[in-house]
Amino acid sequence: MSTLKLKHPDLDTNNLNFDTVEVHAGEPRDMYGALIPPIYQTSTFYFDSTDDAVRACDDYAESFAYSRITNPSQDYLEQKLAALEHGKGAVVYASGMGAVSGALFALLKNGDHAIFAKAKYSGTEDITSDWLPKFGIEHDTFDSSDLTEIEPLIKPNTKLIYIESPANPTMVLSDIEGVVKIAKKHGIKVFVDNTFATPFNTNPLDLGADVVIHSLTKYIGGHGDILGGAVISNDKEFLRECRLGTLMHFGSVIAPFNAFLATRGLKTLGVRMRQYNASALKIAQWLDANPKIEIVRYPMLESNPQYEIAKRQMRGGSGMLSFDVAGGLEAGKKFINNLKLCTLAVSLGDTETLVEQAAAMTHTMIPKEIREAAGITDGMIRMSVGLEDPDDIIADIKQALDKI
Ligand SMILES: Cc1ncc(COP(=O)(O)O)c(C=O)c1O
């Protein structure tokens, strides 16, 4: 839905390129002509008559009545996200996990079965292993680099296949078209968490996926100063279920100010992603040629066993990579402690380069055997390449490696 009055109502964003869409899609018409629309910092909306109020409250999703359901600042962001992901609509949430759980619980119900990729963000892992069973929803997992594992897991009550591509933190890709082909044969929905790729690099809906999920906290917000999440789809009924079901009733609503910051970040996503893609590739190639590094995982490396899939479904490899320092966990710790420019922190997609040890930080809540089955080694270092000059990042990595 959109109740926004647009600045350029006749602009067809379908014929425009990415950088033009991110700037112009969904731009609201302001009553005073403000180029940048105000932040609608309001919890409720007034009506001129009881008839108007009845009309608005008759369909909360198609009106502005209360900001737990719709707000012009959210709507503005949703228009841009839908345009960039080539979807018919979007629903934004307070965080990526709000969007993940909002989408899962909008689809799945007691008695359903779902299939999840093994490699995924730890919060999503916790939802699947700890929370779905509480609601009587069963699941199985598969190695997303091996699609032959999917069909034997399908049951008559399977409703969903859920993937992340590239996955956090292993960078393993799912062949999205391949997953969709299997799912469609059995009438199963496909959800893709596209946080690592971003819509600049991959558009899962164009590859046949039903739902795209984002943590806006990462590349889309882009500056490490907000939390946000989004669900994007061509299925308007599903989006209504998200808005009037999980958003409205679970209440994981993005604040208008955070929606404003996410929209501001989104307007520069293209220029930032070009730089992230180029810098991360340069750093991955440098690491790949270094004898002190055991393994580098980056989609666009020619040595990547999934390079063909990367070229087919990605425009660039993203700013994320992961690697193991020779010498394992202890060598990895020493390496990180000697970094001077790169910062030790969880999260990703920010202006500064962030590194973390996945097994000890973001993925520590996952039992070791599940981590290992997902390919997460104890020494794995995840790097979110920032917007610094890549030569300075490489120099920092080099001086830290020299101390091991
Ligand atoms: C792939 C992926 N999906 C979802 C999330 C959850 O996002 P948030 O932290 O905004 O809740 C994360 C967080 O790191 C993530 O990496």
pLDDT tens digits, one per residue of 295-315: 999 999 999 999 999 999 999
Tokens 């594992």, residue located: 149
Residue in 218, 240, 243, 315 annotated catalytic: 218
pTM: predicted TM-score of the whole model, two decimal places: 0.97
Residue 1 has a pLDDT of: 58
The pLDDT confidence band at residue 14, using thresholds 50, 70 and 90, is confident
**Distance from the CA of 360 to the center of ligand 1, in angstroms?**
17
Residue 3 has a pLDDT of: 78
Closest to 333 (Cα-Cα) out of 349, 322, 344, 321: 344
Q: Rounded to whole angstroms, how far apart are CA atoms 370 and 390? A: 34
Residue in 60, 93, 121, 219 annotated catalytic: 121
What is the bridge-based pairing of β-strands 354-357 and 381-384? antiparallel
Cα-atom radius of gyration of the chain, to the nearest Å?
21
Would you call 120 helix, strand, or coil by DSSP?
Answer: coil
236 is annotated as an active-site residue: no
Which is the closest atom of ligand 1 to the Cα of 98?
11
Q: Each residue of 107-132: pLDDT tens digit?
A: 999 999 999 999 999 999 999 999 99
Which is the closest atom of ligand 1 to the Cα of 216?
10
Phi then psi dihedrals of residue 222, to 5 deg: 80, -5
Kindly report the protein residue whose alpha carbon is nearest to atom 9 of ligand 1: 96
In total, the chain counts a number of residues equal to 404
CATH number for the region 270-402 comes to: 3.90.1150.10
121 is annotated as an active-site residue: yes
**Distance from the CA of 49 to the center of ligand 1, in angstroms?**
43
Q: Give the CATH architecture of domain 13-266.
A: 3-Layer(aba) Sandwich (3.40)
Residue 390 has a pLDDT of: 98
Residue 213 reports pLDDT greater than 80 = yes
297 is annotated as an active-site residue: no
Residue 364 reports pLDDT greater than 90 = no
Q: Which of 3-12, 35-44, 131-140 is predicted least confidently?
A: 3-12
Q: Which of 37-41, 121-125, 217-221, 374-378 is predicted least confidently?
A: 374-378
Domain boundaries, the chain: 13-266, 270-402
Answer yes or no: is the C-beta of 227 below 6 A from any ligand 1 atom.
yes
333 is annotated as an active-site residue: no
Beta bridge partners of 231: 91, 213
